[in-house]
Chain A
Amino acid sequence: MTVFMVRRLMQSVVVLLLMSVIVFLGVFAIGNPVDILISPDADQIERERAIRALGLDRPIWEQYFVFLVNAARGDLGRSFVFNEPALRLIFERMPATLELAGTAVVISLVVGIPLGLYAGLKPQAATSKGIMAGSIVGFSLPTFWQGLMFIMVFAVMLGWLPSTGRGQVGTFLGLKSSLFTRDGLAHVILPAVNLALGNTALIIRLTRAGVRETLLQDYIKFARAKGLSNRRVVGVHVFRNILIPLVTVIGLEIGGLIAFAVVTESIFAWPGMGKLIIDSINQLDRPVIVAYLMMIVLLFIAINLIVDILYSVIDPRVRLQDVKG
């Protein structure tokens, strides 16, 4: 187990370095770094001085090294627009995004697993066919358009829920979240459901496929032959075995949700990281773009690592295999 984790950790470091090279080369070398780091309002003399101060006259590998050292110290430059350290901006916006993505994960699990179990256990029932047809639509609906339609129906036509912004933020057990106030909850419903829909469809399909495959296994037949109750067979024997693919997908989908939050946040004016990156791209606020990209890559590597470890905890077979370094 330790060997597995050390190997996996080393892999993560390699991936992170690789991504830092891509981001560095992409934003710093393809685009003119002078435009990136120096405000466009600066005059010629200021530019010259800044180029020397920033070391842009030095060779590229040296610049990369400096970038890496600064990044390791948490210094990824200052935003042109907000005139604040880029990294701090990201951290300020992160809780809102995590709150949205977390709510969406919970919604998709609470809705998706029961529906998938039902569709898998009774594949011929009309309800199951309805669920599966619904999941195809859920898959095909583009998130952004579905969000607009939510706003149209629930905010404009019915007037039930607010359509923009994050509600009041409450504090509970030292945690700050808009989930602790009524107003906050009202604001989170539409964006969270919007974000969760595609994922719910995915979880329904995965659960159903898992259940149908598991039901054919010998150990299920044996469990039934032993006279175990249907509840125990489904709840323990089937459920535990469909958990393995589910954990992997859920782990990866949390990352996917954080990435797709870009769309949801733009539509519902949710003040998270995703809205920040779109605004930054439109305003060419490049230090923030770089900081966002590095943070999201780090986040993803962390998620992938956790998923891999969880996977080996749930499924002992994974641990026995030789993991290639």
Chain B
Amino acid sequence: MSAPIAADLPAKVETPFRRLASEFVEDPLAVIGAVVLAIILLVAIFAPLISPQNPYDLSKLDILESRLPPGAKSMDGMTFWLGTDGQGRDMLSGIFYGLRTSLAVGVFSGICAMAVGMAAGLVAAYLGGRTETLIMRLVDLQLSFPTILIALILLAVLGQGVGKIILALVIVQWAYYARTIRGTALVERRREYVEAAVCLGLSQPRIIFNHILPNCMPPMIVIGTVQVASAIALEATLSFLGIGLPITEPSLGLLIANGFEYLLSGRYWISFFPGIALLVTIVSINLVGDQLRDVLNPRLKR
């Protein structure tokens, strides 16, 4: 372990957060992942401000400028750094907006799934008995089917739409959170502080959510990062298959699907660049998640 850098500043005591942060930066790959992820998030948030063009303002598009290769100039002097798609849309702007949609759907469904999964898992662990058996059987059943299959079943039944795909992603993912938090909560439940809370006469919801839940958070954060990455990938896959997001809300998956028809004629950039954006996003989230797991897992402490 490195010596405390700011030993001369008495204010900087080693809080758990600082300790985690200093351990996190030990792996250069994870730091790169975190930096790239931060850039991606900024791009997604400020997409309307930094995009060279509003890709969904049809009046700005010129069909004569469609399928231009990367680096080509538009008639009013703008450079299409990553080329244009079949409708003359600047790919760079399209990717910025696509990232926005993909991340929004991934993160939002991740948060919802985490909330649902945590509630179910905590209730199962705390109440035990029939409730626990029922919830955990459901979890086992769901985890024995691949995510894409469940999503496919749901979307085949529900139909398309932003709300429906988020619902499908939540249903697909809640079980991972539920299983993990139940395991952690079962251990926490037997700790003295819970016993003390029971003796103090605190209500059950208060014990579950104010006392047990905060102590179960580390594994949740790890699973959360990994699950957001897989939610983004799954959404892109479903959109690519044409059963995900509608065309009015183009995510990276749809951009890639749009380029598929031009791929065979050698116009690679329409599918290639959105795919790179997707790949970089997923890899950077996974790198951060990998390091978080090592940092937050007390068993791996050497």
Contact = CB atoms under 8 A, between A and B. Distances in A.
Given A151-B263, A277-B152, A144 B240 contact: yes
A163 B268 CA distance: 15
Given A27-B157, A152-B263, A262-B148, A142 B241 contact: no
Contacts of B229: 140
Give the interface size bracket for B toward A: 35 or more
Query: Which applies to chain A's interface (DSSP): helix, strand, loop or mixed?
Result: helix
Interface of B: 141, 144-146, 148-149, 152-153, 155-158, 229, 233, 236-237, 240-243, 253, 256, 259-260, 263-264, 266, 268, 271-272, 275, 278-279, 282-283, 286-287, 290
Contacts of A140: 229, 233, 279, 282-283, 286
A142 B264 contact: no
Interface centre among B152, B260, B275, B282 (most CB of A within 10 A): B152
Contact of B286 (A31, A139, A144, A262): A139
Contacts of A282: 242-243
30 contacts: A23-B153, A26-B153, A136-B283, A136-B286, A136-B290, A137-B283, A140-B229, A140-B279, A140-B283, A140-B286, A141-B279, A142-B237, A142-B275, A142-B282, A144-B237, A144-B240, A144-B253, A144-B256, A145-B271, A148-B259, A148-B271, A152-B263, A260-B148, A262-B148, A262-B152, A267-B260, A282-B242, A289-B156, A293-B153, A304-B144
Contacts of B141: 15, 18
Interface string A236-266: 0000000000000000100110011011001
B283 A293 contact: no
A263 B148 contact: yes
A149 B144 contact: no
Interface of A: 15, 18, 23, 26-27, 30-31, 136-137, 139-145, 148-149, 151-152, 155-157, 163, 252, 255-256, 259-260, 262-263, 266-267, 277-278, 281-282, 289, 293, 296-297, 300, 304
Contacts of B263: 148, 151-152, 156
B241 A278 contact: yes
Contact of B144 (A142, A143, A277, A300): A300
A284 to B, nearest CB: 10
Contacts of A262: 148, 152, 241
Contact of A144 (B236, B283, B287): B236
A19 B237 CA distance: 24
A168 to B, nearest CB: 22
A141 B264 CA distance: 21
Nearest to B232: A142
Per CB-CB distance, the 4 closest pairs between chain A and chain B, nearest first, are A26-B157, A145-B275, A259-B149, A259-B146
A289 B159 CA distance: 13
Contacts of A256: 146
Contacts of A26: 153, 157
A87 B290 CA distance: 44
Nearest to A278: B241
A30 B156 CA distance: 11
